[in-house]
Amino acid sequence: MENKRMVFSEELNRLRHDILAMSSLVEEALGKALAAFQDNNTELAKAVREGDTAVNSMQLKIEDAVVMIIATQQPVARDLREIFTILKITVNLERAGDHAVHLAKTAIKLSGRTPFRAMERLALMVKTGQEMIRASISAYLKQDPEAARKAAAMDDIIDGEHKRLSEELLKLMKKHPELLKKALRFLHTSGDIERLGDHITNICEAIIYMTESRHEELNA
């Protein structure tokens, strides 16, 4: 029994390592996508799109490992809650990676065009999203529910910037109708990044469930 528990712990540690690796890939993709958007760098944008396969592969690898653990180790109670959390983390990290791809696609479509002044707000949203990823994964690895709550609270920054950016773009479209198409694309991109924070909040909620055995809705 003791030997079986040791095997389970080793396999769980490998999963934690893979979660950290996957989160690093997503965080890096967001940074590259933002840089591509800011610099009108189509090559970098294409690299983000191509690199998304690594994130998807990592998700499948983790899910396969989870199935194997459940089948061979028969985890119970607290162990099952962590396995549930791992699955929630991978799903939401994969979706966060999708937002990086969407941002990269927009960078390609707006290539060569002067960015709006709202770029600063969008950049803050993306960087806050990256910080939320780092903080939430750290909270998971440390099994720290309070750190998870603090990570989720950063979503208020993303929501606030999205609201202000939307208001600015609406005023711009009224004043300069010729910029309508570009402004709408920018507005859509901001909305997409706003949902990035929601996915990381989902991770934080799963961490609280794992550590405190109760469901808590954050940022309601």
User: What does the DSSP 8-state code read for residue 113?
Assistant: S
- The answer to whether residues 210 and 85 touch, using CB atoms and an 8 Å cutoff, is yes
Give alpha helix (H) positions in 40-144.
42-73, 77-109, 119-142
Distance between the two ends of the chain, CA-based, in angstroms?
A: 43
The pLDDT, as a whole number, for residue 2 is 57
Q: What is the mean pLDDT of residues 16-24?
A: 96
- Indicate if the pLDDT at residue 1 is higher than 60: no
The 10s digit of each residue's pLDDT in 38-50 is: 888 889 999 998 8
Token pair 């996508």 in the structure block, residue: 33
The pLDDT, as a whole number, for residue 113 is 64
Average pLDDT, the chain: 90
- Indicate if the pLDDT at residue 21 is higher than 80: yes
Nearest 5°: the CA angle 206, 126, 116 is 150
- What band does 173 get if pLDDT is binned at 50, 70 and 90? confident
Q: What is the mean pLDDT of residues 67-74?
A: 84
| pTM of the predicted protein model | 0.92
Q: What is the mean pLDDT of residues 131-142?
A: 97
CA distance 216 to 105: 35
Domains and CATH numbers, the chain: 2-212 (1.20.58.220)
CA distance 204 to 147: 9
Q: What is the mean pLDDT of residues 23-29?
A: 96
